[in-house]
Structure 1
């Protein structure tokens, strides 16, 4: 049976990967200064300020650590999805990271924010991607072909 997921899995990997890398670039100031264009944060301090509103029970220093962990996770997941390395695990990670965002956003600012930001869709997309059996045009596929 022919693999009918070749193009959809590639597009989904890229879409999710970009969805994770863009906010990382924003919070690191790579996309522009705060208040310009479509910049959400523009720097780390603004990102932590916003994250503190999502986690009001934690002190800023703890939020800074959690924000750092989330940023590293998003960076790794985004890169792995785009290049197709450990794709199944990266997709599960994407789903779990966004599910965590859903919980914190809903509890702190209400359900509308995660809906507006497409977090439910990203979480479901990561979960769906983890079930695709073969990731054509990926490092995973290259490694699988070498071992056969």
Structure 2
């Protein structure tokens, strides 16, 4: 009976899992697009300078040089992890990476801006979703799945 339940779960999880993977990836890439000005000047940051200033606010506990470095590091990882999720390559690593990155953002936002900001932007939800994705036994519709057959 348990085996049949697992088969049903695997069958029913394919599209929701893909939707979760793509949602996390696209959401994170959208934030990167914003800091490079692709969403226009009226977006959250609209340009790199505004994003850097925001990062300095969130990383108030770091020396300024490390704060600027963290803006570059965050951007690098906000491109790398979503691309891994998008293509389903090293999906577990990408999901854990996204989960930890979003967790760091949520904690930094909470310390610097209070609890409302990460709640309004669903950063906690994104982190939890990434961690949920990371513990999946297999990743359907992915490079990982096609190479593990």
Task: After superposition, give the CA deviation of every residue in 1:58-116 in whole Å (9 maximum; x if it has no partner).
Answer: 34332111110011001011111111111111111111001101111111110000000
Query: 2:106 aligned with 1:102, yes or no?
Result: yes
1:23 corresponds to:
31
2:140 corresponds to:
136
Offset of residue 29 of structure 1: 1.4
1:87 corresponds to:
91
Which residues of 2 match residues 1-148 of structure 1 at below 5 A? 1-2=7-8, 3=10, 4-32=12-40, 34=41, 36=42, 39-145=43-149
Number of equivalences: 141
Offset of residue 126 of structure 1: 0.5
Segments of 5+ residues of structure 1 without an aligned counterpart are none
Q: TM-score, normalised to structure 1's length?
A: 0.90
**Distance of 1:44 and 1:60 partners within structure 2:** 16
* Larger helix percent: 2
Alignment RMSD, CA only? Answer: 1.1
Preserved CA contact (<8 Å) 2:55 2:70? no
**Distance of 2:75 and 2:124 partners within structure 1:** 19
Segments of 5+ residues of structure 2 without an aligned counterpart are 1-6
SS in 2 for 1:5: helix
